[in-house]
Amino acid sequence: MEAHLHVMGIITPQQFEMLLPLACAWAAEQERTILQTGVGLQDSQLADARRVGVARPDRIRLFRVVRIPSPTHPDLAAAASAT
C-alpha cells in the first residue's frame, strides 16, 4: 500500500474504503487498553466535564502515553505515516 499512496499523503476513496475497517479495529484495540488501564477523572475534571455537558463523565478514562501507538497493520501504518 505504501507505494500506492499519492504524494503529500492523499488517500484515494478506494484506499480509504480498504483502510477504514483496519482503522476502526485499531481504534477499538486502543479503546480496550485505555478502558482496562486508564484512570478516571479527578473531582475538578469531573466538574468541568459536567459543566460542558458530558452525560457520563464517570465513564471517561485517561491513559498517558509518550507517543500515540502506531498501527501494526502494514497498510494502515503506511497510511498513518504518509498522512
Helices (DSSP H) in the chain: which residue ranges? 13-37, 43-51, 74-82
Which tens digit of pLDDT belongs to each residue from 53-66?
999 999 999 999 99
Note if the pTM is more than 0.85.
no
| pLDDT at 23 > cutoff 50 | yes
pLDDT at 7 (0 to 100): 45
Distance of CA 34 to the CA centre of its chain: 11
- Cα dihedral sign for 49, 54, 55, 58? negative
